[in-house]
Each structure stands twice: as structure tokens, then as C-alpha cells.
Structure 1
Amino acid sequence: MARDPSPIARQEARDRSDTNWASTQPPRGRREPSRRRKAAATDSATVDLVDWLSENPDAIEYIQEVGNILSGPVIQKLDKRFGGSKPREARRRLTNHFWCDLLVALAEAIERFSKALDRIPEYVTTVIMQSRKTEHRSPLLEALVSLAVRTAWEPIKSMVHTTGVEELQRTCRILAVLICPAPEDHKAIQDGALLPLAKEGLLETSKERLEQVFSADWVHRLREGLGGV
């Protein structure tokens, strides 16, 4: 959609997002936002990111490159080691927020360990295992997580030198949001991707919608990062 020179599909997506947001207006007196309203808010942010990508074609290529790494060598190694006789079933288990966990943890690790790149795979594996336990996701073998991270990291690490740390962080965060099956239910995506991306790729409307559905602490950190505006 971001590659399409015509804005029609993007505008249709934005119209659907706005309609969904309007249709989830909570009744008077209800404070806690519904799951549908949270989804509508994160959909609004996703539409903003797609629009941003349409104006930054280089970023699309970076995202495609990382996506190819995950869908190519990483999946192939996991199939070979853990797929057994039912690789599709093994892959299906990984659709439960594993890939977006991996991407957002990579983005965080790049920031923390830009001067110690060799420590990143171990750190990312730990973050994913802890995140899944905290959010009560289905358990995964640490060896599987470690293999996926190490296989993904080697080619991604080379991108640090060609694209730069900040660009690679942005790439991982945007791709994490785009492929996450439900950002409204995935705290790691909310904190590690949507929050930093809000500073550069989201319109004020989407920021306001996210503020209505996420915690006061999240809103405080968002506004603090935007200089209090």
C-alpha cells in the first residue's frame, strides 16, 4: 500500500479507521475503553505509519529487507531444527506475537548495545522470554528463540553499518507494528514501538486516540517525549 503511487487505497484505509473509531465511542459513564476501541486507536496509528512510508521510499526497502530475513533464512532454520513432520503447525505457534516481539526487542537492543553489538542476540533472547512470561503468552523453547534471534541478527547487524542505528531501529519498530496481529493487546509493541514512533510518524489525531485507550503512565511518557506538547 505504501508503494502504490495512488493514494486511494491509503485514503480508504484511513476512512475505515476513522469509521471504526467513531463506531466505538463508549457510552456515557464508561471509563475503561473496549478492546474494539483500543484496536481502532492502534489501527489509526498504523495508517499513519503507512502514509509516512509512502513519503519515505528508502524506509520501505529497509523494511522489506528485514522482512525477507525473517521469512527466509530464519524460518528455514527454524523449520529444519524445530519443524519436525509438521512445520506449518510449528510456524503457526509463532504467529502469537513472536515475530513482533523479536523486532521490537531488536530495536530496543540496538539502542542499548550499539557499542556492544555481539551481546545483542543474548539480550534479545532474554527480553523475548521474559516478555512472553510476563504477558502470559504460550511458552517457547529458549533454544528456538535463540536460534531465530541469532539467525536474524547476523544479516541485520550488517545493516547497522549501511543504514545507521536510528534508521534500523525505526525499521524494526514500524515492521513490528505492521505485522503485530493485535497491537492493542501487546504491551511490548505499545511501549517499544508505538511510543517512540509517535514522535515522528503519527498524526496528532492518532496520538489523541491512543491517549484515550492507553494508561495514564503511557500518555505521560508520550507527552514527555514530545516535550510536553
Structure 2
Amino acid sequence: MDLVRSTPDDRRRRRAGHEEGLKREPGSRRLKNSEKNRSIVVDLARLDAVDWLAGSSGDGAPGRTRQDSERASGGGRGAESHVQPAEQVSVLAKAMATETWPRISGRLDQVTPHPRDVRRELAHHGWCDLLVGMIRVIESVNGPLRALSRMPASLIKDAILTSSAQDARPHVTAAVVGLVVDEVWRAFIAVACGGGSPFGLLGGEEALRALRILAVFICPAPRRHPEVRRYALKPLGEDVHHILTAQTEARLAELFAEWLP
């Protein structure tokens, strides 16, 4: 999120550096389908999201008021206080990671004899898989976000345990996943449904957008994580706010199967 608070010139310089690193097929404008190009294009997509968040924090931003959010989530009326998308992402990140990790870490030795291995393996796409699971649950809810409190967390746990990255996490067992999901899901519900939120309730699309951006930001390598591309990155291009530029989407379509028609 530090990049969101940087100057436009800083972001333009970073983008120019990425652009210079792209390699094309000889005698063609088509990008080489290389690991380096895939990494650069994903970084450019991240910069698109950063630019959108930074732009949405200024005048005319698509931020919501507490009153708007309560209506979208099925809540009542409330005092208005504008909340911009960048703050929504930051608050969710703090609530779900910074505030839950001490409790999770303190209880790991109760569910596994290998807590150090678990901590290391969770860094291998464990957290972005968690966000993908949450995204998929929210997508399945046809109604206000308040209905999430009745959704079984097992759907999120299954998304982690069946992830393409799970084979590299042998110590992240069902018991470990249960501990992590229960803590993080409880924190998310508190924020999204208003109980522990400093800015009121999130609407469903707001929650999905914030979680998708967060998943793309924290994933160590979206180019190697198809679930993040399918459930987080690609939907950002389809978002009503056009978070990804047309150029970025065209490049993603050249390099990743998820963008094929």
C-alpha cells in the first residue's frame, strides 16, 4: 500500500521500467511467452490496481458512505463518512492479517507438531489461497453480506486444501487450515458486516473488489498461481470501474490461458 501513497511520477517511473523489460518475438509486436514477460505483465496489472486505488482517493472518487454501504449490505441507516477503496483494502488487510496472526501463531502448536514448517509453508501461496476461498464464498451469496455469517467456513477450507499449490505445503493440514480460516473469516465478518468496522458495512461488490486487489498484491507469484489469476486478477479487468487497463488485459490474454475466450 506504500506505492498507493507514492507520487504519480514515482508510479510512472516504475511502470516505464517494467515496460522496458518486456521482450517481443523477433520481427513481431507479439510478446514472448516467457516467465519474465509473464512476471512483468502481472506487475503492470498490479500497478493498474495501485493507480486506480490512488486515483480513487482523490476528488470524485468512487468511495462509499457508511449509509450507502449499510443499504448495500442489508443494514439500516447510519451517519455518513466517506470511505475510499484504498482504506477498505487497508482495513481488511489489518483486520484479517495483522490482528489475527498473533492468535493463530500462538495456537499453532496445539494443532501441529511442526509450527515452524507451517509458518514457512503458509508463505507459499497459503494466504492468497485463503483470500481466493473467501472470494468464492462471497461470489456464491445471492443477497446481502449479512448472509455470510451463515455460510460454512468449510467452503473456504476446501479451496485451500484443493489448491494447485497445496502439494508444496505438506504441513498445512486440515487442522491448521481450520484454525487459520476460522480466525480470519471471523475477523472479516466483523469488518464486512459492521460489528468491528471503523467505517460501517461493506457492500458485496466492494468486499469482492477489496479482497481481489489484496489477493493480487500479496500473492508471491500470480504468474504461477492459476486460482489467483482466475478469481482475483481476471475479475479486476471485468470490474465496472475498469481497474485493469485495456493494454494490460490484452497482454494478459497473450500470456495466460484464463483470458482465452
The normalised TM-score by structure 1 is 0.84
Q: Distance in 1 between matches of 2:8 and 2:132?
A: 28
Contact 1:108 1:169 in 2 (8 A): no
- Name the CA shift for 1:40/1:31 in 2 (closer, same or farther; >3 Å): closer
Q: Distance in 2 between matches of 1:89 and 1:131?
A: 18
Measured after TM superposition, the shift of residue 113 of structure 1 is 2.8
Contact 2:212 2:236 in 1 (8 A): yes
Residue 71 (str. 1) matches residue 97 (str. 2): yes
SS at match of 2:161: helix
Q: Structure 2: where are the runs of 5+ without partners?
A: 58-83, 194-200
Residue deviations 1:156-206 (CA, integer Å, cap 9, x gap): 113333111110110000010011111100000110011100122011110
Q: Which amino acid aligns with 2:154?
A: E
- Name the CA shift for 1:31/1:174 in 2 (closer, same or farther; >3 Å): closer
- Identity between Structure 1 and Structure 2 (%): 30
Residue deviations 1:26-48 (CA, integer Å, cap 9, x gap): 45799971111111111111110
Q: Work out which structure has the larger RCO, using CA pairs closer than 8 Å and 6 or more positions apart in sequence.
A: 1
- Name the CA shift for 1:178/1:154 in 2 (closer, same or farther; >3 Å): same
Residue 94 (str. 1) matches residue 122 (str. 2): yes
Measured after TM superposition, the shift of residue 89 of structure 1 is 5.2
Q: Distance in 2 between matches of 1:143 and 1:113?
A: 26
Measured after TM superposition, the shift of residue 85 of structure 1 is 9.8
1:104 alignment counterpart = 132
Q: Distance in 1 between matches of 2:248 and 2:127?
A: 24
Residue 49 (str. 1) matches residue 49 (str. 2): yes
Structure with bigger gyration radius? 2
1:177 alignment counterpart = 216
The normalised TM-score by structure 2 is 0.74
Q: Which of the residues 198, 221, 237 maps onto 1:198?
A: 237
Q: How does 1:32-47 map to 2 (within 5 A)?
A: 33-47=33-47
Residue 60 (str. 1) matches residue 86 (str. 2): yes
Contact 1:105 1:127 in 2 (8 A): yes
Contact 1:101 1:188 in 2 (8 A): yes
Q: How does 1:6-155 map to 2 (within 5 A)?
A: 6-21=7-22, 24-27=23-26, 33-57=33-57, 58-82=84-108, 90-113=118-141, 115=143, 116-117=147-148, 118-132=150-164, 136-139=167-170, 140-155=172-187
Q: Which protein has the bigger helix share?
A: 1
Residue deviations 1:83-103 (CA, integer Å, cap 9, x gap): 589866542221101111111
1:3 alignment counterpart = 5
Q: Distance in 2 between matches of 1:46 and 1:61?
A: 17
